[in-house]
Amino acid sequence: MNDNVQSIDRSFGVNTLSEQRNKVLRNTYWLLAMSLVPTVLGAWLGVATGITRSMGGGLGMIVFLGGAFGFMYAIEKTKNSAAGVPVLLGFTFFMGLMLSRMIAMVLGFKNGPELIMTAFGGTAGVFFVMATLSSVIKRDLSGMGKWLFVGAIAIMIGGIINIFVGSTAGMAVISVMAIGIFSAYMLYDLKQIVDGGETNYISATLALYLDIINVFQSLLALLGIFGGERD
């Protein structure tokens, strides 16, 4: 009798944990999809008004880093409250605004719209593959985190240096590295949700959003460098 009761309790605990993971994953996907709307609006506003056109070099870097880290700090502080979602959506609008400078440059190419759609499709493809892998890989991938973090820091430092150097080859190398690192980060972050390591859907959405925006931006940069057609 006691064995049966313990078996039921364990089964109930497993089912509850599985339901919690599924709920976090479901909410993360919904919020991630919602976050693309302010991103597109921010990018459109930036392109239409040219507000970020003059934010090149050091000024652009300061505005971006200050705004991004400020928003991320605010998201971390509000992730367990009702303000968490609006703050996250405000961050995605800011990221779209910052992305608008690159989008405007790509739209300057004759095949600019096609390049943007190709980058979007490629990013969606990467996300689909990583989401599939996260659901079938049984191995614990938590050990990847520290190596991916080191890679992300290296990319950030390289990107900051290249802002002042202005090397097209350097930008291409950094973009290739970023695609690899943040695609792997995407798998890592998704696996954290699937395995129950991440239980806050706002934090999970922020992590995946940063992975996606970095892959998209890097793909767009590569396509612009190697596939842009001038009039």
- Predicted confidence (pLDDT) per residue in 41-78, tens digit: 999 999 998 887 777 666 777 888 899 899 999 999 99
Q: How far apart are CA 42 and CA 104, in angstroms?
A: 12
Reported as a single tens digit per residue, the pLDDT across 81-133 is 989 999 999 999 999 999 999 999 999 899 989 999 999 999 999 999 999 99
User: Which residues, in sequence order, are CB contacts of 197 under 8 Å at separation 6+?
Assistant: 142, 191
- Round the CA-based radius of gyration of the chain to a whole number and report it: 20
Domain ranges for the chain:
2-227
